[in-house]
Chains A and B, each alone.
Chain A
Amino acid sequence: MTTNDAGRIPSAAGGAELAALYRLLTWLSPAFPIGGFSYSSGLEWAVEAGDICDAAALRGWLATMLTDGSGFCDAAFLVHAHRATELDDIKRLSEVAELAAAFVPSRERQLETAAQGRAFIEIARSAWSCAGLDEAVAQCDVVVYPVAVGMVGALHGVPLEPLLHGFLHALVSNWISAGSRLVPLGQTDSQRVLAALEPVVVATADRSLHASLDDIGSATFRADLASLRHETQYTRLFRS
């Protein structure tokens, strides 16, 4: 299928859901060129420090990041960005984008989310053009990754819930991909971790759907320190 002139999903019966699915699978695929493979969100330091040494430890670390850390925060920012864009509330979108950019614990996490957000917007402009994108982006100083996904998803008419679940799945998959290279883990163990985290992803998505901007916050001191310590780690494969 191809996008129509305005970029929004055609509303013909049956076509809308399939078009949304097509775009979701594309945007949140590891092959979508935003460079996700080069970031570990501090996992690289956690592995070197011995905090993560096997599949069980990786699962526990990621469950905490999802529930109490950047996973929940990013999910909630995606939700608010999607809703503000859908309502064409540019002022609100700008506020969400500004808060999301401030909600990172370290310079490398800032690089990670800002660079991916920028890349996501650029590719959306180039290959998945849609009406309103330039205007929305122009209102934001920085568009970090979850805000970019929420904004573009809304402009394309992709429903919020599948977008949110797809985003969290992509986030966790990318973390596991980093972990599998660092620990290292086999393919089967990696899939076991992904399967085990499914209920955590579902719960995080549900909580973020109902979270106000004031509810957003993280309490992952050690994971935050991991992303800080990564800046001075001697040997590094990843940019964060």
Chain B
Amino acid sequence: MRSPLQSCSASEGRAVEAALSVDHAGGRSVLRRQNVGYPLHVTRGFHLDAARPDLLTLYLQSASGGLYAGDRIALDVSVARDAAFHLTTQAATVVHDGRGIGALQRQTITVDSGAFCAITTDPYVLFPGAELALDTVATVADDAVLCVADGFAVHDPRASGRAFSEFSGRLRVLRPDGHLLLHDAGRVSGDELHGALGPFAAAANLIIVAPPDRLPSVKSLQQAADGCGALAGASRAPNDAGLVLRILAPDGGTLSRATDAAFHVAAAAALGVTLSRRRK
């Protein structure tokens, strides 16, 4: 048996497989199954919205100070028929130097018929040398709603002048029969970022998969993000999958506020009520 120190060694990283299953029971969405190990931690469930008391909110935290070289994190989220679930983070996640092997975070999401699932992650803060790959596969029923938000900001706490190594993200959304609705992929290296982002240092995506009558207007999404000091643009996704919002911001804080504001617009359109602010 390895010691905790060995299992946490920077050269090997940590392999974690976590799973959350949410059911609709007794008029509320409840956590039916939870399998979350170190370094991840989830809070107890909250029902924060008086207008939607059935909606379950969980905060996912890192108990170890962020993501390190070699980390392999897998998260499986399943939201059953008619359940409503919001998984978010309490703060930004620091991504440390990848030391040539980087960190990988995989998510598998299943959203059943009539269900609502939102996974909104505060920005990943890329330290010098950081290398992070996000890979998400979501299976969404025709009448279900999925909101996924993630992004990154750059920080060099010691002003070393070193850029992060690489950030990549991939999201595939499928119907239960396997039909591919959309595939969003991006990769940028730290050396290339300044030229690509211009005066901005943070970027995020909000992907909303929903039936047309449960989508917000493109303009309302943009205005919500712009109102926080970001620059955002939205467009309809292919195959009538929903909407895609791209956000640029000068820093991680602005990005986080802009993403959150846009998420609230999306949630209001999908659920018919305005959700309360998620305290962090």
**A, B assembled together:** yes
B236 touches A228 (CB 8 A): no
Q: Is there a chain A Cβ closer than 8 Å to B227's Cβ?
A: no
Residues of chain B with a CB closer than 8 A to A107's CB? 235-236
Choose one: A105, A221, A232; the contact of B219 (CB below 8 Å).
A232
* Chain B: minimal CB distance from A71 (Å): 15
Separation of A220 and B246 alpha carbons in the complex (Å): 12
* Chain B: minimal CB distance from A197 (Å): 18
A102 touches B183 (CB 8 A): yes
B248 touches A106 (CB 8 A): no
Q: Is there a chain A Cβ closer than 8 Å to B197's Cβ?
A: yes
Interface majority SS (helix, strand, loop, mixed), chain A? helix
* Chain A: minimal CB distance from B108 (Å): 22
Map CB proximity to A onto B231-263 as digits: 1 under 8 Å, 0 otherwise: 111111010000000101000000000000000
* Chain A: minimal CB distance from B118 (Å): 22
Choose one: A217, A219, A225; the contact of B231 (CB below 8 Å).
A225
Q: Which of A41-95 contact B (CB under 8 A)?
A: 68
Residues of chain B with a CB closer than 8 A to A198's CB? none
Map CB proximity to B onto A93-136 as digits: 1 under 8 Å, 0 otherwise: 00000000010011110100000000000000000000000000
B188 touches A106 (CB 8 A): no
B246 touches A224 (CB 8 A): yes
Q: Is there a chain B Cβ closer than 8 Å to A192's Cβ?
A: no
Number of interface residues of A (CB under 8 A): 20
Residues of chain A with a CB closer than 8 A to B93's CB? none
B219 touches A220 (CB 8 A): no
Q: Is there a chain A Cβ closer than 8 Å to B195's Cβ?
A: yes
In the complex, the number of residue pairs spanning A and B with C-beta atoms less than 8 Å apart equals 51
Known A68-B195, A106-B235; contact A225-B218, beta-carbon cutoff 8 A = no
Q: Which of A218-240 contact B (CB under 8 A)?
A: 219-222, 224-229, 231-232
- Taking CB as reference atom, which chain A residue is nearest B196? A219
Choose one: A68, A110, A226, A231; the contact of B218 (CB below 8 Å).
A231
Choose one: A108, A220, A229; the contact of B196 (CB below 8 Å).
A220
B246 touches A228 (CB 8 A): yes
Residues of chain B with a CB closer than 8 A to A219's CB? 188, 192, 195-196
Map CB proximity to A onto B197-241 as digits: 1 under 8 Å, 0 otherwise: 110100100000000000000110010000000011111101000
Residues of chain A with a CB closer than 8 A to B183's CB? 102
- Taking CB as reference atom, which chain B residue is nearest A110? B238
Separation of A225 and B232 alpha carbons in the complex (Å): 7
Residues of chain B with a CB closer than 8 A to A105's CB? 235, 246
Residues of chain A with a CB closer than 8 A to B197's CB? 221-222
Separation of A224 and B248 alpha carbons in the complex (Å): 11
Separation of A224 and B192 alpha carbons in the complex (Å): 17
A sample of 15 inter-chain contacts (CB < 8 A) reads A106-B235, A107-B236, A108-B235, A217-B187, A219-B188, A220-B196, A221-B196, A221-B197, A221-B200, A224-B246, A225-B232, A226-B233, A228-B235, A229-B222, A231-B233
Q: Given A222-B198, A232-B219, 5 other A-B contacts at CB below 8 A?
A: A219-B192, A222-B248, A228-B246, A229-B222, A232-B218
Listed from nearest, the 8 A-B pairs whose CB atoms lie closest are: A228-B233, A219-B196, A225-B233, A106-B235, A107-B235, A229-B233, A232-B219, A107-B236
